[in-house]
Amino acid sequence: MTSVLDTPRTRLSGPEPSGQGPRRRLVVIGNGMAGARAVEEILARGGAGQFTITMFGDEPYGNYNRIMLSHVLSGEESDADIFLNSLSWYQDKGITLHAGVRVDRIDRFTKHVFSNDGRVTPYDILIIATGSRSHMPPMDGLYTPAGSVKPGVFAFRTIDDTRKMVAYAQHEHHRRAVVIGGGLLGLEAAYGLRSHGINVDVVHSAGHLMSAQMGPDGGAVLRRSVEALGIGVLTGSRTTAVLGSDRVTGISLRGGTDIPCDMVVVAAGIRPNVDLAVLSGLPVERAIVVDDRLRVQDEDDIYAVGECVQHRGEVYGLVAPLWEQAVVLANHVTGTDTSAMYLGSRTATKLKVAGVEVASMGLHGPELDTDEHIVFSEPSRGVFKSIVVRDNKMVGATLLGDSRKVAYLTEAYDRGLPLPEERIGLMFDFGTPDGDAGVGELSDDAQVCNCNGVSKKTLVDAVQGGCATVAGAMEATRAGKGCGSCKLLVRQVVEWAADGAVEEDPVANYYVPAIPLDKQALMAEIRKRGLRSVSAVFQALAPGGEDARSKMGLASLLKTMLAERYMDERDARFINDRVHGNIQRDGTFSVVPQMKGGVTSVQQLRRIADVAEKHNVPLIKLTGGQRIDLLGIRKEDLPQVWADLDMPSGYAYGKSFRTVKTCVGKDFCRYGTGDSTKLGIEIESRFQGIEAPGKLKLAVSGCPRNCAESLVKDVGVVAVEGGRWEIYVGGAAGAHIRKGDLLATVDDPEQVKVLAGRFMQYYREQANWLERTYAFVPRVGIEHLRGVIVDDAQGIAAQLDAAMQASVDSYVDPWLDRDDPQTPGQFRTSLPLTVLPQVPVR
């Protein structure tokens, strides 16, 4: 259990001494999406002046976007990127956050809450936002005899659940998973696991997938799309037991079939967290009962918000309603608008599985004889559309595989708009350009972004208020920053509102997002002002101050420009660069010692073998760049491994010069005309470790047979007849494949080194951050490059050579860090997320 930002002695029991000012005590239980949003809304209404705010959250983190866990599971998003409010946010706002602390009981008569760290906290106003948890349907063998869930069984609710699932899914012996529940969450979980290469079956007890959101016909189309992703689907099957004694080995279905598997994810619905409220005597039915002001029924000072709430008989499992609730609640709590009422939400759902578009709202089929039902189905393309109309109003829609009309239909559903006579116009745009027409049809208060409750008008106002770019409008309104499914629509609205005057995002030209300058202008400023460190650049040039996303790019640029005059700051580096190793899927690192030109010696091999043995290296592997890779080294062991190796780093990580692959060349090969091995070693010795916008992989081949694959390298050299050498640039053979362009043919190896170095320096100075040479070379054009590099058309050749020489001269083997770690935590284990400091349990 952990806790931050509190001063335990001063905020214990008893009412605060009077005379400490008029601020009342606001306590919030639950630091999830609803709790944090409610606090944000309260602060936006001047709450900071009215209240001292204390929050309790069961999870040991700040507040994060739970919706994005689906993307984290599928690897589309990293867990560090989904935080909404960092810990410093709470600090800045003067909020006391008890993270990792659970509230066990409320005494609503004396107005105190009791938490599991023994703390007793008084309140004047209490907000309960405890959310829900995953529902575990009854199954034999779900729990171990000790009462915990059997290893290999997962819920899908929290960041910890997600991380554990990812870790489990990446374990090499875990190949097969069963997801119980074929609803929205189950499909997202299945898709996520599939992305890790796991074989997944979804077991759903109803007759078709997403049965709560759509009818059997739509379900059948959806099934085809899901199966096309390689996910098995079993409908009409109920899981009766989880098999395996100490860990999962399979599941049993009703009717006796068993499915073997290594992991089970339960996504069979959610249940509100109401134990606390029940125990404390608050009115709970399906969830905590609240009135239209979000006040707990018959309680004057207790509010509740989010998924733990039952309002007018409804319990919601989506975020859109809780945004609306938070606004009403904040209006009452702060007294800003005491007439505000929450009247319930009409919800629409979307599936966040790439390539399978699903949107659904309201009824999924006709219920009355008089209901009209309009259906369009094209299963082979995965398209299905169904609309239910009652009394000329839309009461439900299901759209699969084509969501262009979603915005309009959502609005028609939300607000009961009269529908066009020609019903088919509801499903398709005829003769109108895509998008625009759809956007024009929307009324002002149509919700564009459901996750953040942003209306068309809010966006249009932002555009008219001067946000002329899509990113600007998104930043200003928060639209598109939830599940992300509305980004296309946001773009359309912005374009429509700007009436063609939407500016191209200048950010697209910025070298790094935080500084409004392109690369050349940025370099000019850095030179003019004599800046030498990343923090100095932020201070001088970033209007918004430091920005994590910009650090790496700046660090690389400064090193390129300044060589040894660069002032290194560790936190400007990416994890790979901080510890000089490649982080692997399981959080361990790989160590690749330098092996110039792929040549090694008996001593080196013996040393590597000894080190591998001493450290129990689980995998020794030859890399594609002709080196030996020691995989599976724990972070804290890195310095010792380097010390034992006592060899320089091979730079198998980082955005830098990495390796020169060579063939055997003249001395040994029957065909070789040039000494490719010797030249490769010389090139590697010269340019080792230099930073670049993207990694640089090189090769030298001894003849046009090209055994070192020189034509698909960032810089590739090939010996040709007559002792001449061809230099190719901009090749690639990774995710992107491109044959390099011939830069020059030269007479001697020395020339090769000069031109290769000059090319690399030009690339370092001109390319965008993370732009590989295969993109850079075609962008600027090979003729242009030949002009600058070979013919010195711009007269900068000497300058480029000198800058490169300075970088070469300032080379230091990064593995020498082992003797002198640059930060205390450099080689300490750490989770990708900051876990709060441990405090003793009181």
Ligand X SMILES: Cc1cc2nc3c(=O)[nH]c(=O)nc-3n(C[C@H](O)[C@H](O)[C@H](O)COP(=O)(O)OP(=O)(O)OC[C@H]3O[C@@H](n4cnc5c(N)ncnc54)[C@H](O)[C@@H]3O)c2cc1C
List interacting residues with ligand SF4 (CB under 6 A): 663-665, 669, 671-672, 676, 701-703, 705-707
Q: Within a 10 A sphere around the Cβ of 205, how many other Cβ atoms?
A: 18
In the structure encoding, which two tokens stand for residue 61, read together? 């983190």
435, 472 contact by CB (below 8 A):
no
Is residue 58 a contact point for ligand X (CB under 6 A)? Answer: yes
As measured in angstroms, the least distance from the Cβ of 691 to ligand SF4 is: 30
CB 335, min distance to another protein, A: 31
* Cα–Cα distance, 536 to 555 (Å, whole number): 11
User: Which one, 160 or 461, has the nearer CB to ligand X?
Assistant: 160
Could you say which of another protein, ligand X, ligand SF4, none residue 663 binds, taking C-beta under 5 to 8 angstroms by partner kind? ligand SF4
Nearer of residues 353 and 498 to ligand X, judged by Cβ: 353
- Is residue 32 involved in binding ligand X (CB under 6 A)? yes
Q: Provide, rounded to whole angstroms, the least separation between the CB of residue 135 and another protein.
A: 7
Closer CB to ligand X, residue 34 or residue 541? 34
Min. distance of Cβ 212 from another protein in angstroms? 5
Which entry of ligand SF4, another protein, ligand X, none binds 652, CB below 5 to 8 A by partner kind?
none
- Give the nearest distance from C-beta 413 to another protein in angstroms: 13
Q: Which long-range contacts (CB under 8 A, 24 or more apart) does 395-399 make?
A: 395/362, 395/363, 395/371, 396/361, 396/362, 396/363, 396/364, 396/365, 397/359, 397/360, 397/361, 397/362, 398/213, 398/214, 398/215, 398/218, 398/358, 398/359, 398/360, 398/364, 399/357, 399/358, 399/359, 399/360
Binding flag, residue 66, ligand X (CB under 6 A): yes
In the list 28, 29, 95, 554, the residue contacting ligand X (rule: CB under 6 A) is 29
- The closest alpha carbon to 34, from 374, 291, 273, belongs to 273
Q: Which does 672 bind (CB under 5 to 8 A by kind): ligand X, ligand SF4, another protein, none?
A: ligand SF4
DSSP code of 58? S
Does 31 help bind ligand X (rule: CB under 6 A)? Answer: yes
| Burial profile 303-340: b = 16 or more Cβ within 10 angstroms, e = fewer | bbbbbbbbbeeebbbbbbbbbbbbbbbbbbbbebeeee
- Among residues 572, 540, 542, 544, the alpha carbon closest in space to that of 556 is found at 572
Nearer to ligand X, 29 or 261 (CB): 29
- Out of 60, 244, 306, 757, point to the residue binding ligand X (CB under 6 A): 306
How far is residue 776's CA from residue 743's CA, in Å, rounded to a whole number? 14
Query: Which lies closer to another protein via its Cβ, residue 296 or residue 641?
Result: 296
The identity of residue 586, as a single letter, is D
Q: In angstroms, give the least distance from the CB of 695 to ligand SF4.
A: 23
**Per the structure block, which two tokens stand in for 421?**
């006579």
Burial class (CB in 10 A: 0-12, 13-18, 19+), 840: exposed
Q: In this chain, which of 319, 493, 514, 683 binds ligand X, going by CB under 6 A?
A: 319
- Structure tokens belonging to residue 339: 């007439």
Q: Does 213 bind another protein (CB under 8 A)?
A: yes
- Of the chain, the end-to-end C-alpha distance in Å amounts to 10
Give min distance, CB of 157 to ligand X, in A: 5
Instruction: Determine contact, residues 807/559, Cβ cutoff 8 Å.
Output: yes
669 touches, from ligand X, ligand SF4, another protein, none (C-beta below 5 to 8 Å by class): ligand SF4
Please select the residue that binds another protein; options are 270, 439, 514, 743, rule is CB under 8 A. Answer: 270
String marking each residue 351-390 x if it binds ligand X according to CB under 6 A: -x--------------------------------------
For the four alpha carbons of 546, 549, 553 and 559, in that order, the dihedral sign comes to positive
316 is a contact residue toward another protein (CB under 8 A): yes
Helices and strands (H and E) in the chain: how many: 25, 41
User: Measured from the CB atom, is 4 or 733 closer to ligand X?
Assistant: 4
- Edge-to-edge strand order for the sheet containing 231-234? 153-155, 263-266, 176-180, 199-203, 231-234
Under rule CB under 6 A, residue 96 binds ligand X: no
Among ligand SF4, another protein, ligand X, none, the one that 185 touches (CB under a kind-dependent 5 to 8 A) is ligand X
Q: Provide, rounded to whole angstroms, the least separation between the CB of residue 55 and ligand X.
A: 9
- Convert residues 253-292 into a mask of x (bound to ligand X by CB under 6 A) and - (unbound): --------------------x--x----------------
* Closer residue to ligand X in complex, CB, 320/652: 320
Minimum CB–partner distance for residue 183 and another protein (Å): 9
Structure tokens at 69: 């866990």
**How far apart, in whole angstroms, are the C-alpha atoms of residue 285 and residue 274?**
9
In angstroms, how far is CA 739 from the centroid of its own chain?
32
Per the structure block, which two tokens stand in for 208?
């078709």
Q: Could you tell which of ligand X, another protein, ligand SF4, none binds residue 137, using a CB distance below 5 to 8 A set by kind?
A: another protein
> Which option in another protein, ligand SF4, ligand X, none does residue 284 bind, with CB closer than 5 to 8 A by kind?
another protein
Q: Pattern 432-471, binding to another protein, x per CB under 8 A?
A: ----------------------------------------
Under the binding rule (CB under 8 A), the answer on residue 284 touching another protein is yes
Burial (CB count <10 Å: 0-12, 13-18, 19+), residue 762? buried
Q: What is the dihedral of CA 419, 420, 426, 430, to 10 degrees?
A: -160
Beta bridge pairs of residue 140: 241
Cα–Cα distance, 396 to 378 (Å, whole number) = 19
CA distance 763 to 447: 45
Could you say which residues in the range 116-145 bind another protein, by CB under 8 A?
135, 137-138
Q: Within a 13 Å sphere around the CA of 30, how many CA atoms are in the beta-carbon half? A: 26
Residues 27, 28, 53, 67: which binds ligand X (CB under 6 A)?
67
Q: How far is the CB of 303 from ligand X (least distance, A)?
A: 13
Site size for another protein, by CB under 8 A?
28
The answer to whether the CB of 842 falls within 8 A of the CB of 13 is no
For residue 676, the partner it binds in another protein, ligand SF4, ligand X, none, with Cβ less than 5 to 8 A by kind, is ligand SF4
Q: Which two tokens stand for residue 231?
A: 């996910």
- Within 317-336, the residues that bind another protein by CB under 8 A are 317-318
For residues 330 and 42, is the Cβ–Cβ distance under 8 A?
yes
- What phi and psi values does residue 586 have, to the nearest 5 degrees? -95, 10
Q: What's the min distance (Å) between Cβ of 706 and ligand SF4?
A: 5
Distance of CA 271 to the CA centre of its chain: 27
Residue 211 or 677: which CB sits closer to another protein? 211
* Number of C-beta neighbours around residue 530 at 10 A: 10
**SS3 of 3-19:** CCCCCCCCCCCCCCCCC
Closest to 837 measured CA to CA, from 57, 37, 99 = 99
Residue 156 as a binder of ligand X (CB under 6 A): the answer is yes
User: Comparing C-alpha atoms, which of 105, 42, 38, 32 is closest to residue 62?
Assistant: 32
Q: Does 286 bind another protein (CB under 8 A)?
A: yes
Is the distance from CB of 513 to CB of 507 less than 8 angstroms? Answer: yes
Taking CB under 6 A as the rule, does residue 33 contact ligand X? yes
Among the listed ranges 162-170, 308-316, 677-685, 757-765, the one in contact with another protein (CB under 8 A) is 308-316
- Which residues lie below 8 Å from residue 722, measured CB to CB, with a gap of 6+? none
Q: Which residue is nearest to ligand X (CB)?
A: 32
* Binding residues among 543-582 for ligand X as defined by CB under 6 A: none
41 contributes a contact to ligand X by CB under 6 A:
no
Given candidates 27, 125, 129, 397, which one binds ligand X under the rule CB under 6 A? 129
Binding residues vs another protein (CB under 8 A): 135, 137-138, 204-207, 211-213, 236, 238, 269-271, 278, 283-286, 313-318, 347, 349
Binding residues vs ligand X (CB under 6 A): 29-35, 56-59, 66-67, 69-70, 102-103, 129-132, 156-157, 185, 273, 276, 306-308, 317-320, 322, 352, 483
